[in-house]
Amino acid sequence: MASIKTALAASVLASLLWCAPALAAQSSAPATAMAPTAAGDEPLDLIMDRPSTVSTFLGTVGSALGWAWDKTTDAISVILPPSPISLAKSVDSDDQAELVTLLSYAGYKLKEIDSQVGVIPTIAFKFALTRELSEADWDYLDYRLEVSRFRTPGLGAALQRAIVGTVMSINTGGAYQVSELKIQALPLPKVAFSVTPKQTALGEESSALLRAIQKTERRLRGDLASIAGKILPGAKLYRLYKARDGIIVSAIALFVVAILVELRRNLRSPARGRAGRAIPLGLLGLGTLAWVVAALAPLSLLTLSGGIAVFGVTALLVAAKGPQAPANTAADTTPDAPEAPPEPTTAPAVAVHVTVETDAKAAVPA
């Protein structure tokens, strides 16, 4: 008997499987096509060796199966948890749940969303302590809870307030604090509080690190504010004379210009020996060094402008005096000093020689 039943069941199942494509086609066909005909078996049914009644029956079963499948998938999609990303977005949105808002006022921020998809899906939210609360923060949280009590009655809201209230009482109670809060929504609502001593090694370390960062930031800010000419080591000595910046720079400028003039005169003069050229060159080097030191030192706008002005005036004076230099040079190299002939190898010497000749020719007729 049992074997007959099994055989029947197997045959029904096999027929269902065999008819599946036809069922699908029929389920998508117009209703009129599915309606049983009064005229009995269709020729096609005869060809396929199936009576129309069986076809109708199978069509109905197929529709029912399709409907059942749709409803099952719908039901699964309903009970499936939303994706972690959509949850995270909803938590960050402006219309976030009141619990999240209250927890943020209590110093907690969403850290993780644990979501598992399966026959029994699970969702859990983990909140971590991100800041200590001040006295005013506690009072404000108390105020928000009171306002919530008036505005949002109901069991759910009361449970949420109870969670925040528990966190509040633990954190204000003394030596302990809720370092992490895990709120499980599925499969069964549950809240887990990770309570740790306030003075743990990790907390201390994190706090010290933060303090160090903030201290460095403050120092950096202070340094940036005072960096305008007060930091370079070489400038410290110079700062002592800051009031006399203008005079010093002007003196250096005059000194350099004077050296340049002297150098020009000496280089042109064949009467000067090597020593005569080395002294102004050395002075020029010293002047340049002094100038570099002055330039490295932080200069006030007044100093700079004063220095530039003096330098400019000196340059103008030198430029005005410039044309006289060759005349003087010519006077110095008149034929009464023929023992110093120009060196033929260097271009400046040639130029000087030419000048001398011109002047000499001009002088002869006179």
Partner 1 sequence: MKHCQWIGRAALAAALLFSAPLGISAARAADGEERAPWIVGSTLMNPLTIEVFKHLKQRAPQLPDPRIDSRGTSKGITDFCAGTGADTPDVVAMSRRMRGGEFETCTKHGVADIIEIQLGIEALVLTVSARDEDFALTFDTLYRAIAAELPESEEFLPNAAETWNDVDKSLPKTRINVILPSSALGARGFFDNRFLQGACREMHAFKNIFEADERVRQCTNLRKDGHVTELGVPYDTLAVKALENAPRGTVAIMPLRFALDAGDKLKMLRFETTIPNRENVSTREYIGTRPIYYYVKRAHVKDYNGVGLVPGLREFITEVTRESTFGDDGYLVPFGLVSMPERKRAEVRDAALRLKPMVR
**How near is the Cβ of 165 to partner 1 at its closest, in Å?**
7
Q: Give the whole-angstrom CA distance, residue 37 versus residue 53.
A: 9
Contact (CB, 8 A) for 259 and 284 = yes
Nearest 5 degrees, angle CA 346-CA 347-CA 350? Answer: 95
**Binding region for partner 1 (CB under 8 A):** 105, 130-140, 142-143, 146-147, 165, 168-169, 171-174, 206-207, 210-211, 214, 217, 221
Shortest separation between residue 154's beta carbon and partner 1, angstroms = 20
Neighbours of 325 (CB within 10 A): 14
Q: Which is nearer to partner 1, 22 or 128 (CB)?
A: 128
- Residue of 89, 73, 166, 177 whose CA lies nearest to 130: 177
What's the count of helices (H) and strands (E) in the chain, helices before strands? 15, 4
Smaller CB distance to partner 1: residue 141 or 249? Answer: 141
Burial grade of 151 (CB within 10 A; 0-12, 13-18, 19 or more): exposed
Minimal distance, residue 206 CB to partner 1, in Å: 7
Q: Which C-beta is closer to partner 1: that of 88 or that of 261?
A: 88
CB of 164 to partner 1, least distance (A): 11
Shortest reach from residue 139's CB to partner 1, in Å: 5
Q: Among residues 123 and 129, whose Cβ is nearest to partner 1?
A: 129
Q: Given the complex with partner 1, which of 139 and 343 has the nearer CB atom? A: 139
Here the tokens at position 352 are 């000087």
What does the alpha-carbon distance between residue 64 and residue 67 come to, in Å, rounded to a whole number?
Answer: 5
Residue-by-residue DSSP string for 152-189: --SHHHHHHHHHHHHHHHHHTSSSEEEEEEEEEEESS-
* Residue 109 vs 190, nearer CB to partner 1: 109
The least CB distance from residue 236 to partner 1, in Å, is 27
